[in-house]
């Protein structure tokens, strides 16, 4: 009986030791990065859906002079596509620090369970972590699922990302897509420039859904693209939303 008790005690000690193992100690990188910096810094860029997020360490502060309280988070995603780098498997997990208190500044990195996004990741030893902490290190995707493949240079990475953000994919929610096209157009301009963004938007003018045709035309006609050639057709299109009809009238009346 004592031998059995001793064996059980050893097993319990091993279990407790494993369950209390420390989370990795990572130096925070609270950098606010532009798109080109996110892309160039990343070892791995994937499109995926957030399946889980949990805290693995809290109470860290970035610097003795900095009062920003940080919490280390672990994120699990289902990978739908690879844009840069190499990865095998349908899932991956990565770490990032988020800020836990109120502050004023650039947009913080906030993830939504079930949300689809482009994630920018770096390898640190055997771990994956976000390219930067606190501030945005992912780009939300509202266009549905896309078939993408890893690219060999950052220019082609930016092109693939612009297409993912602007062009309809599988499982598209049209209302969410149309509502966010202002934001996606701005992102695309930051990635591939005005000329290429306009090229991609023009492909939407022949879409079978009038809501998409109308909003694409408005995006083309609005600054900074300011291409108003589609407005006349928009105003004659009965499937375009009243909101976009009114905006087209206003844009058409401007000198």
Model confidence pLDDT, tens digit, residues 87-130: 988 999 999 999 887 766 788 899 999 999 999 999 998 899 99
Average pLDDT for the chain = 87
Q: Which residues contact 107 (CB under 8 A, 6 or more apart)?
A: 135, 136
Mean pLDDT of 193-202: 98
Report how far residue 186's alpha carbon sits from residue 169's, in angstroms, rounded to the nearest whole number. Answer: 19
Rounded distance between C-alpha atoms, residue 215 and residue 213, angstroms: 6
- What average pLDDT does this structure show over 71-80? 95
Q: How many helices (H) and strands (E) are present in the chain, helices listed first?
A: 7, 6
Top-confidence residue, 1 or 183: 183
The helix/strand/coil state of 120 is: strand
Residue 67 has what pLDDT? Answer: 60
Written out in words, the top-level CATH class of the domain with range 23-140 is: mainly beta
What band does 186 get if pLDDT is binned at 50, 70 and 90? very high
Provide DSSP, 21-69: PPPP----------HHHHHHH-SEEEEEEEEEEEEEEEEEES-TT---E
Task: Parse the chain into domains and list their residue ranges.
Answer: 23-140, 152-255
pLDDT of residue 108: 87
pTM for this entry: 0.85
């Amino acid at each position: 009986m004592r031998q059995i008790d001793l064996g059980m005690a050893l097993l319990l000690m091993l279990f407790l030791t494993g369950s209390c193992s420390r989370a990795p100690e990572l130096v925070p990188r609270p950098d606010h990065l532009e798109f080109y910096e996110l892309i160039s810094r990343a070892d791995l860029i994937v499109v995926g859906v957030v399946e889980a997020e949990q805290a693995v360490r809290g109470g860290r502060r970035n610097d003795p002079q900095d009062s920003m309280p940080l919490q280390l988070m672990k994120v699990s995603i289902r990978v739908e596509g690879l844009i840069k780098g190499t990865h095998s498997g349908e899932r991956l997990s990565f770490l990032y620090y988020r800020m836990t208190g109120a502050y004023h500044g650039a947009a913080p990195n906030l993830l939504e369970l079930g949300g689809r996004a482009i994630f920018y990741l770096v390898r640190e030893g055997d771990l994956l972590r976000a390219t930067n902490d606190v501030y945005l290190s992912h780009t939300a995707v509202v266009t549905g699922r896309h078939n993408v493949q890893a690219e060999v240079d950052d220019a082609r990475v930016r092109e693939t990302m612009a297409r993912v953000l602007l062009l309809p994919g599988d499982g598209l929610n049209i209302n969410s897509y149309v509502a966010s096209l202002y934001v996606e157009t701005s992102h695309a301009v930051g990635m591939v420039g005005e000329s290429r963004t306009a090229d991609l938007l023009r492909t939407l003018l022949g879409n079978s859904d009038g809501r998409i045709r109308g909003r694409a035309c408005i995006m083309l006609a609005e600054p900074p693209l300011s291409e108003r050639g589609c407005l006349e057709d928009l105003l004659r299109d009965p499937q375009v939303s009243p909101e976009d009809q009114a905006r087209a009238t206003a844009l058409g009346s401007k000198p």
